Amino acid sequence: MTSLPWFHKTTIYQIYPRSFYDSNGDGIGDLQGILQKLDYVQRLGFETLWISPFFASPQADFGYDISDYTSIAPEYGTMEDVIQLIEQVHRRGMKIVFDMVLNHTSIEHTWFKKSSSSREGTWMDWYIWRDRPNNWLSVPGGSGWHYAKERGQYFWASFLPFQPDLNYRNPQVKQAKLDNVRFWLDKGSDGFRLDIFNYIYKDAEFRDNPFSFSLLPTEDDPSGFFQQAIYTVNLPESFEFAREFRNVCDEYGEKLSIGEVSGGSSTIRKFLGENGSNGLTLVFDFGMLNFKFTADYFRDLIRDMEMQYPDPFMPVYVFSNHDRRRSMSRLGGDVRKARLLHMFQLTVRGVPVIYYGEEIGMTDAKFPFGTALDPIPHKYKFIPRFVFDALGLTINRDEVRTPMQWNGGRNAGFSSANQTWLAVHNNYGSTNVEVEEQDNNSLLNTIRSLLEIHRREIVLQQGSLELMDNLPESVLGYTRSIGNKKISILLNFDGRETKFDAQGKKCIFKLTSGSQWNGKTVRLDAYGAIILKQ
């Protein structure tokens, strides 16, 4: 059997540096903070870290607006800290990937300052300039064209007005950005998470987007606000760029590249190329962020993922991030369901990506839009909150970015400051690492055990997947296998117990004490689950 590349069999933990651990008491998480908590992540058992941006930035979008890609925001630390972090991660046999924002810079970037000051000279078309806007709309809504007085023209910004899009049709721009990528690969980064990768190219002729009936963009369809986003998103040139990006990474060996993209699976899989070696190595397929907690939903999800991402591709399973609801909030705070969800995520065929705090079941905070630090809610503060809640939309992303809850002490052990950059969630007294460490059945310890099994059982990392038939309606079952090595996973998505026959040689994991197997019959209690070796 040939072994898969590491980036197809790893487990990923996402750290939002601002909220992970504050080492110097200024109320903001930092790189030394991550270093101090590396033992925690290692003991938990993740193999790869993805760190959200810590580069120089005015922090208008908390690091997704970068003013210098090769220096570090002082509140996070220094270049020495980054080098130390890379070394320490590698010393532990783990990998580290950075967050690369290719589509846009901050308006504070020197390239933009130069480009917006004159229509002539070297920098004149480093960004996307027009005398007159067309009908294109930005991701958060409203025209994405903004007037720059000094130059007397409009620039295009796919996201917020202070995040101008670079012009990749200018070969110098592409070169400069790929140089940024090489800079971090030279420093030892094991790859990148790629911010809104599918927006990089826009129509060269600036044709108006056609009308659409769709009101809001969704994970499966970036069209919205009554516009079909055909000239602004998922252009063939962006698929081609994925190939170029991969070539640069390949110069450095096996490097992970995971695209933040949106659109139907059959569209976004084009970012992976055709043969597993001529595109990005992974893409997020965000439809599953809106999961329904039923066996049927996850069965269909597996079918879909297996169809879209067969070998040599690999699906990604993700249920929350720094922009979306936390999975525990979606599950109504039911820890039994959270344990089952993560058991699914860590045993199905695919790379699991888990956002910090998910392992202890952190939930979304509720903050008023008017005082939000995130710029998005300010656009919508005139619409009553219940409208967004009813639509299940996270508008105020502060709510999913509250500090990590380490213990029941001051600021949940996140910081010694008088005030933290965002308030700690008020449930930190009972939801925190210290409390959960002591409880064998906690979500934290469940995830730790499952990660341990994932590292031990090569079948879980690399095996093919087959859905099992003839199970009770509430039960999802699948078998992972390589040659004659087989492992079956059986998960009960119902609050009532269920019994059925199942074959196996040995039970290697029970999610709940009421999950049993007597060599013939499986009994799963409420949200119970079991792993059988065949």
Give the end-to-end CA distance of the chain in Å, rounded to a whole number: 19
CB of 150 to ligand GLC, least distance (A): 24
CB of 146 to ligand GLC, least distance (A): 15
Closer residue to ligand GLC, CB minimum distance, 234 or 498: 234
CB of 321 to ligand GLC, least distance (A): 7
Q: What is the 3-state secondary structure (H, E, C) of 291-358?
A: CCCCHHHHHHHHHHHHHHCCCCCCCEEECCCCCCCCHHHHCCCCHHHHHHHHHHHHHCCCEEEEECCH
CB of 101 to ligand GLC, least distance (A): 6
Let me know: does 52 contact 322? Beta carbons within 8 Å.
Answer: yes
Closer residue to ligand GLC, CB minimum distance, 398 or 494: 398
Q: Which two tokens stand for residue 180?
A: 């940024």
- Residue 251 among the catalytic residues: yes
- Nearest CA to 393 out of 372, 373, 375, 377 is that of 377
- Nearest CA to 44 out of 330, 357, 257, 298 is that of 357
Q: What is the Cα Rg of the chain in Å?
A: 23
**Catalytic residue among 120, 251, 469, 501, which?**
251
Distance CA 345, CA 443 (A): 13
Distance CA 529, CA 510 (A): 6
CB of 497 to ligand GLC, least distance (A): 40
CB of 199 to ligand GLC, least distance (A): 9
Closer residue to ligand GLC, CB minimum distance, 28 or 343: 28
Give residues with Cβ within 8 angstroms of 406, minimum separation 6. Answer: 21, 412, 413, 414, 432, 433, 434
Ranked by CB distance to ligand GLC, the top (closest) residue is: 64
Closer residue to ligand GLC, CB minimum distance, 68 or 497: 68
CB of 55 to ligand GLC, least distance (A): 12
Closer residue to ligand GLC, CB minimum distance, 22 or 260: 260
Whether residue 171 is preceded by a cis peptide bond, meaning omega within 30 degrees of 0, is no
Q: Which two tokens stand for residue 326?
A: 């936390």
Let me know: does 533 contact 505? Beta carbons within 8 Å.
Answer: yes
Q: Which two tokens stand for residue 230?
A: 């055909």
Distances (CA, A) of 267 to 140, 200, 219: 21, 15, 12
What is the binding site for ligand GLC (CB under 6 A)? 61, 64, 101, 159, 195-196, 260, 322-323
**Catalytic residue among 61, 65, 81, 195, which?**
195
Closer residue to ligand GLC, CB minimum distance, 217 or 273: 217
CB of 381 to ligand GLC, least distance (A): 18
Distance CA 439, CA 460 (A): 26
CA 127 remoteness from chain centre: 27
Closer residue to ligand GLC, CB minimum distance, 127 or 406: 127
Distances (CA, A) of 394 to 60, 72, 244, 323, 380: 18, 29, 34, 7, 12
What count of other Cβ atoms lies within 10 Å of the Cβ of residue 212? 15
Closer residue to ligand GLC, CB minimum distance, 54 or 64: 64
CB of 315 to ligand GLC, least distance (A): 20
In this structure, what DSSP letter does residue 251 have? T
Distance CA 175, CA 52 (A): 23
Let me know: does 115 contact 124? Beta carbons within 8 Å.
Answer: yes
Active-site residue set:
195, 251
